[in-house]
Amino acid sequence: MFGSYTIKDIAKALGLSTSTVSRALNGSYEIGAETKKLVLEYAEKVNYRPNPIALSLKEQKSHSIGVVVCEVANNYFSQAINGIESIAYNSGYHVIITQTHESAAREATNVQHLLSRHVDGLLVSLSASTTDLAPYQYLHDKGFPIVFFDRVAEQVNTHKITANNFKGAFEATEHLINTGHTKIAHITNSKNLLISVERVAGYKAALEKYNIPFLPEYIKHCDHGGMILDEVEMAVHELLNLPERPDALISTSDRLTTTCLPVIRKMGLKIPNDLAMAGFTNSDVAESFNPPLTVVRQPAFQMGQLATELLIKTIESKHPIYEYSNQQVDTELIIRESSLK
């Protein structure tokens, strides 16, 4: 800290050796009750705090965990980070957050950076453009703790926390069908992401259940997940200029959902009359939208917590772990006006 006391200061002040002080502070058995008390009281008095850097160097542990997400300024991820912090904080870990901005190159750099900072483990949500999972596989093979959350690497067999994306998309699609829609378009994130694949699968399954033919042209992938307006604009335009214009749209990515709305409005279409809408988003203000938006909400905070608990458990485990948790949490469908006929 700042002019903070070291073990050496205490030792000198008390006429003891540093090792004795260290032992007293760490509640070792091999120490006299008197000495221990003396040290403890003095340490308390001067507000002694061990230097975490020295500890890290000694223990070869940094007590920090690295987080890789696409963006902090995103409803889902800011809430997830909130969950991550809440657990990490209480466990004495600090959190280093890095953003990929959906760039695979940036993601690789970030991982490098975090490793060079000697983080004890990694909490990763893949970027939309990541295809090379080898670095994660390599680290994992070497026993380095990694937990994926939300956007997981299917091929890497390690801990994963995901939302039930299939079910989330299924329910939203089914709901749109139940409200009388049959021409349901789907706008989603990059094909690289398993979440997209799962959400598309859920969508297809719902169509199938109700014997609605699946039309490939009704699906658009925005590879930048809504971060590039033009991409979304083009996708929405193409969808809504189809000869058989969709009567409903499901968007299955947080940023995509919020970006779609103004585009649709600018086209002069009214939701839900011209186009019903339901979307994945963790926005807290979906209720205030025009019209209030039907959403699929992920338990972001809880997912952050679960992932972090898992990671810390892995980090602190004495024995290598070969059983990988693959926990799936449920999404929540919140029905509002945007999806009603």
Q: Which residues contact a second copy by CB under 8 A?
A: 1-4, 49-54, 56-57, 62, 71-75, 78-79, 81-82, 85, 89, 94-99, 113, 115-118, 139, 142, 144, 258, 261-262, 265, 283-285, 287-292
Q: How far apart are CA 82 and CA 89, in angstroms?
A: 10
Q: In terms of CB distance, is 46 or 134 closer to DNA?
A: 46
Q: What's the one-letter identity of residue 311?
A: L
Q: Are 303 and 83 in contact (CB under 8 A)?
A: yes
Q: How far apart are CA 7 and CA 13, in angstroms?
A: 10
- Smallest distance from DNA to CB 74, Å: 35
- Residue 87, both tokens: 């657990």
* Contacted entry of a second copy, DNA, none for residue 6, CB cut-off 5 to 8 Å set by kind: DNA
- Smallest distance from DNA to CB 293, Å: 52
If phi > 0 it is left, if psi is from -120 to 50 it is alpha, else beta; for residue 102 that is left
Q: Is 288 in the site for DNA (CB under 7 A)?
A: no
Which residue's entry shows tokens 């979440």? 195
Q: In terms of CB distance, is 18 or 328 closer to DNA?
A: 18
Q: How far apart are CA 32 and CA 37, in angstroms?
A: 9
Q: Is 35 in the site for DNA (CB under 7 A)?
A: yes
* Contacted entry of DNA, a second copy, none for residue 16, CB cut-off 5 to 8 Å set by kind: DNA
- Smallest distance from a second copy to CB 54, Å: 6
Q: Which of 2, 27, 29, 47 binds DNA (CB under 7 A)?
A: 29
If phi > 0 it is left, if psi is from -120 to 50 it is alpha, else beta; for residue 40 that is alpha
Q: Is 58 in the site for DNA (CB under 7 A)?
A: yes
- Smallest distance from DNA to CB 313, Å: 20
Q: Quick one: three-class SS letters along 256-274?
A: HHHHHHHHHHHCCCCCCCC
- Smallest distance from DNA to CB 144, Å: 16
Q: Is 25 in the site for DNA (CB under 7 A)?
A: yes
Q: Which of 12, 37, 54, 326 binds DNA (CB under 7 A)?
A: 54
- What is the x/- site pattern for DNA, positions 209-248, by CB under 7 A? ----------------------------------------
Q: In terms of CB distance, is 40 or 292 closer to a second copy?
A: 292
Give bridge partners of residue 64 from the DSSP assignment: 94
Upstream peptide bond of 291 is cis (omega within 30 degrees of 0)? yes
Q: Are 316 and 219 in contact (CB under 8 A)?
A: no
Q: How far apart are CA 199 and CA 186, in angstroms?
A: 10
- Smallest distance from a second copy to CB 81, Å: 5
* Contacted entry of DNA, a second copy, none for residue 97, CB cut-off 5 to 8 Å set by kind: a second copy
Q: Is 13 in the site for DNA (CB under 7 A)?
A: no
User: In a 3-state reduction of DSSP, which class is residue 4?
Assistant: coil
Q: In terms of CB distance, is 29 or 322 closer to DNA?
A: 29
Nearest to 163 by CA among 340, 326, 339, 334: 326
Q: Is 2 in the site for DNA (CB under 7 A)?
A: no
Upstream peptide bond of 50 is cis (omega within 30 degrees of 0)? no
- What is the x/- site pattern for DNA, positions 102-121, by CB under 7 A? --------------------
Nearest to 277 by CA among 1, 144, 152, 263: 263
**Residues binding DNA (CB under 7 A):** 6-8, 15-20, 22-23, 25-26, 29-36, 50-51, 54-55, 57-60
